[in-house]
Amino acid sequence: MSLEPPVIPDDLVLPPGAGGRIVLLVLDGLGGLPDPERGMTALEAARTPHMDELAGRSSLGLHHPVGPGVTPGSGPGHLALFGYDPIRYQVGRGALSALGVGFPLRAGDVAIRLNLAALDDDGRITDRRAGRPTDEEALRVVERLRSGIQLGWPDVEFFLEAEKDHRVVLVFRGAGLGALLRDTDPQTTGVPPLEPAVLPGVEDAASERTVTVLSRFLDRARQILADEPVIRGLLARGYARYEGFPSVKDRFGLRAAAWARYPMYRGVARLVGMEAPVEPASDEEALAAMEAAASDFDFHFLHVKGPDARGEDGDFEGRVAAIEAADAWIPRIMATGPRVLLVTGDHSTPALMKAHSWHSVPVLLHSPFARAGAAVFHETACRSGDLGTLEGRHLMTLALAHAGRLAKYGA
């Protein structure tokens, strides 16, 4: 087993089967700021009797997902919770999208996020999202491109997958491809898409090769889409070369599963070797699927989007309601018999800021070996918790320890 210094030394992880089960419940964007009128954060304002009851028998604390002052995207925020240093393990939006639609990326693949776009007869963009086409419409266009495009190099393959609405993922597979390219999306309408090019100031033969491959792909696509009524163009919006991450099985001895309604969170979980056995249509379906498969895995990652989505809307009361809804999950999760339950967020999303923020995130870690916490679970109570303020990537190590999955270090 290989562990990442300096989190935990090698050879400390016990073999699969040892120790108890872990549930990580991520309330996306959990941390907040006080509402100016109510003087409380959403977590302080929410009625959360189940989490509060658990808080009395749990270790509490605050975590910085990436580091103090750093506002995490969803990828780095979740990687930290999965025990991966998000500075060392970087993941581009293209790779997250590809993994989110279940595409089995291999090391060396270059994944590119594309928008289906509307172009006029002169090739100028009229809508960067092609009027948000239905999934069916997008799939029809994707299938035309799939069957119509021949790149013409024997050693380069492409894969094209519809994500949602106007979003499509393109993957190039072949030796020596780089991803240091600028977007072809000009971020405005009335102009043609930009030509593929490497980033300014970058000299990278591998990325130059990707420019050549992508240029040919886009040429062929333009010919095929010329007779389409609306979707006549493709805009590249984010590139990533997928390097392949060590899995949670190899690093932590965990058979792990992700239960998440939204593809991106299943994607980041797959990135570290978790399974995503279902594509739930709702949070309730996600929870029910996890309940049914509780004993099939050592580690369950359950994702709840609401607190973040309402925070980005600036909807404080919506955040309160989303947190209260998640609180009702606690008895059902505990009924599945985990040894360890970790409740936290991947970052803060204060309604006041309508965006992800850098503020530290409350943590509740329940196990039979937790110290006594507090009578309530929220940002202020967590300040005095026995976990203190720590880096997010250390939470996995703590969960493994509480689950009896880490051996003693040294004699």
> Least Å distance between CB 68 and a second copy?
4
Strands (E) located in 216-357: 231-241, 256-259, 299-304, 340-344
Question: Quick check: 162 binds a second copy (CB under 8 A)?
Answer: no
For residue 150, what is the enclosing H or E element? none
Q: Determine if 71 is a binding residue for a second copy (CB under 8 A).
A: yes
- Identify the CA nearest to 105 among candidates 149, 169, 190: 169
CA dihedral angle for residue 262, residue 265, residue 270, residue 273, rounded to 10 degrees: -140
Lookup result for tokens 């977590």: 43
Q: Determine if 15 is a binding residue for a second copy (CB under 8 A).
A: no
Query: What are 45's two structure tokens?
Result: 């304002």
Residue with smaller CB distance to a second copy, 87 or 191: 87
Helix (H, G, I), strand (E, B) or coil at 220: helix
Beta bridge partners of 24: 301, 342
Residues in contact with 239: Cβ distance below 8 Å, sequence separation at least 6, in sequence order: 92, 94, 110, 111, 112, 113, 179, 180, 181, 210
The interface with a second copy within residues 166-225 (CB under 8 A) comprises none
Instruction: Identify the residue among 104, 148, 337, 388 touching a second copy (CB under 8 A).
Output: 388
Element (DSSP H or E) covering residue 32: none
Q: How far is the CB of 346 from a second copy (least distance, A)?
A: 11
Strand partners, 113: 169
| Interface with a second copy (CB under 8 A), residue from 25, 29, 42, 86 | 86
Minimum distance from residue 101 beta carbon to a second copy (Å):
15
**Closest approach of a second copy to the CB of residue 356, in Å:** 6
Quote the least distance from Cβ 58 to a second copy, whole Å.
13
Residues binding a second copy: number (CB under 8 A): 68
Shortest Å distance, C-beta 297 to a second copy: 20
- Can residue 309 be called a binding residue for a second copy (CB under 8 A)? no
CA neighbor of 188 nearest in space, from 140, 124, 232:
124
Tell me, rounded to whole angstroms, the distance of Cα 71 from its chain centroid.
14
Distances (CA, A) of 328 to 177, 241, 315, 333: 48, 40, 21, 9
Q: Which two structure tokens, joined as six digits, stand for 6?
A: 């300096």
Residue 202 or 292 having the CB closest to a second copy: 202
By C-beta, is 137 or 379 nearer to a second copy? 379
Chosen residue from 7, 197, 309, 334 binding a second copy by CB under 8 A: 7
Which residue lies nearer to a second copy by CB, 174 or 263?
263
Residues 22-51 that bind a second copy (CB under 8 A): 33-34, 39, 41
Query: Which one of 90-98, 164-172, 173-181, 253-261 is the stretch in contact with a second copy (CB under 8 A)?
Result: 90-98
| Binder of a second copy out of 226, 292, 328, 372 (CB under 8 A) | 372
Cβ burial of 177 (10 Å; 0-12, 13-18, 19+) is: buried
Pairing assessment for the beta strands 157-164 and 256-259 based on DSSP bridges: unpaired
Tell whether residue 400 is a contact of a second copy (CB under 8 A).
yes
Residue 241 binds a second copy, judged by CB under 8 A: no
CB of 176 to a second copy, least distance (A): 24
Binding site for a second copy (CB under 8 A): 5-9, 12, 33-34, 39, 41, 62, 66-76, 85-87, 90-93, 96, 238, 350, 352-353, 355-360, 369, 371-372, 379-380, 383-390, 394-402, 406-411
